[in-house]
Structure 1
Amino acid sequence: MLYEILTHTPAWVFALFALLLWLGATQLTGRRVGLRRTLVMPVVMIGLSLYGVLSAFKDQPLAAAAWAAAALAVGFAVAQRAAPAGTRYDPVTRSFALPGSAVPLALMMGIFFTKYVVAVQIAMHPELAHRPDFAIAIGALYGAFSGIFAARALRLWKLAIRRDTALVDPQRV
């Protein structure tokens, strides 16, 4: 069964997996990242997540609602936490020094494998695409991943705004 699934998987899926694995692995070690670049990965992964919901559950509006609710709830909760220890923002170069983390890799793999497993399940059992309970559960899972990605970027931008404001008005820090 697994062999059949893998042999019917398009080659581009394996290429996407390799790309996401590589991108996630690059974030395991500390690095410097520009302010604008902190938005690229969250936007791409949130887009992939939302595409996963909309493509699998076209006729299930509750799936998109569950995605949005989970993204907002989880995003709000994660945004309340401080940026990871060792995170620094340099207002002169407008870049961050970020510690290495396995979280981005785990999130990327979570979204990728959710999309893959859902696609396989719907291909094998097309009726799942029409079940509201399945659509809501998967939509919420995708939303949770998206909320974490968005909140991690928001935490960095809040740090940057505080630092940039401090340059203009040192009393505000």
Structure 2
Amino acid sequence: MSSQAATPSLLAIVTHTPLWVWPLIVYALYAGWARTRDRIISPARLFALPLILVSLDVFELARKGLSMMTAAGLAFGVVAGVLAGLAAARHTPTQALDDGRLAVKGHRLPFAIVLAIVVVSYVRGAALGIDPSLATNAHFLLANAVLAGFLPALMLARTLGSLPRGYVFG
């Protein structure tokens, strides 16, 4: 007989997910999907989702405390995310309209980023629920720190980089 506990099934993981998580997942996916369509929006709406994502990751990491290793992983992820986001922004420029709003071209990349954030967050939570000792596993913490820096930085840098040259918030 094995002394190791059996890994729960996918069904068990899904059914043990707290109910409050599902509306967040649905909203995140809706918000990401909405970014696949051309739209005219205010600058505040353009930055709402990227800033929420960055804030949630910073809060989560601060809540758990940062070691030197996880801080380095976070910094690496942020730098890589900013570089990737700025490179991606060149392909989806935003146009400033006379009324202060922005004409934004739809693109699948923001949806992919949001989907990745949702999946990473869900898998992280499930993994910690299955094996709480991962909360002290250096490799697990480092991977999470890199992704926590990379994905939101990618989203925010892409958003900033897509603004027209010389754009000033009014």
Bin the TM-score by the shorter chain: 0.7 to 0.9
Residues 7 and 60 (structure 1 numbering): CA distance in 2 closer, same or farther, change over 3 Å?
Answer: farther
| Root-mean-square deviation (Å) | 2.2
Does the 8 Å CA contact 1:52/1:115 hold for their aligned counterparts? Answer: no
- Which deviates more, 70-79 or 2-11? 70-79
Tell whether 2:131 aligns with 1:125. Answer: yes
Does the 8 Å CA contact 2:38/2:103 hold for their aligned counterparts? Answer: yes
Does the 8 Å CA contact 2:43/2:101 hold for their aligned counterparts? Answer: yes
- Which deviates more, 80-89 or 36-45? 80-89
Residues 59 and 81 (structure 1 numbering): CA distance in 2 closer, same or farther, change over 3 Å?
Answer: closer
**Which secondary structure does the structure 1 equivalent of 2:96 belong to?**
strand
1:150 positional shift = 1.7
**Which secondary structure does the structure 2 equivalent of 1:36 belong to?**
helix
Identity of aligned residues (%): 24
**Structural mapping, 1:88-127, within 5 Å:** 88-90=95-97, 92-127=98-133
1:34-81 Cα distance to aligned partner (Å, 9 max, x none): 1232221110011223334445x5464522331232112320343255
Tell whether 2:27 aligns with 1:19. Answer: yes
**Which secondary structure does the structure 1 equivalent of 2:99 belong to?**
coil
Tell whether 2:79 aligns with 1:65. Answer: no
Show the counterpart of 1:148: 154
1:117-151 Cα distance to aligned partner (Å, 9 max, x none): 01111111112111112111111012110221121
1-structure distance, mates of 2:93, 2:83: 22
Tell whether 2:27 aligns with 1:28. Answer: no
2-structure distance, mates of 1:116, 1:81: 26
- Say which structure is richer in helix: 1
Unaligned runs of 5+ in 1: 165-173
Show the counterpart of 1:48: 56
- Which deviates more, 35-44 or 109-118? 35-44
Show the counterpart of 2:5: none
1-structure distance, mates of 2:81, 2:93: 23
Show the counterpart of 2:4: none
Does the 8 Å CA contact 1:60/1:132 hold for their aligned counterparts? Answer: no
